[in-house]
Amino acid sequence: MAVNVNNPCLFCEFLKNKKIAAENDLAFAIFDGFPVNLGHVLVIPKRHVANYFELTSAEVLAINGLLNKMKAEVEAKFHPDGYNIGVNVGADAGQSIFHVHVHLIPRYKGDVESPRGGVRGVIPSKRSY
């Protein structure tokens, strides 16, 4: 099956036409349009690049800076009990928009029956250990 290259790219268009929550020279942050939990944020490099491992070190630092900035904003507005941070790299890992985006997902007591294993839950049989 061919990989959807998202042409035009949703995030490139979003940067041009939509309200963003925060930005720096190399990246921007938005609240996810289909949030997993209240306060779910995406941090996205301004340069169109599909693979996280192809980011420059400056882009990684810019993304990390916005993760911290948005974490403080989410903390103040929504008071979560924890966070998951994640990136999908490639279609087989669940990537559906082929422009790097880092998820900052606030977690709340009781949002799942048992949060043990956290991001290990991407493969349900490996979640419990």
Give the residue numbers marked as catalytic: 101
**First vs last C-alpha separation in the chain:** 34
- Cα angle 34, 36, 37; round to 5: 115
Query: Residue 62 belongs to what H/E stretch?
Result: helix 57-78
Side chain identity at residue 111, one-letter code: D
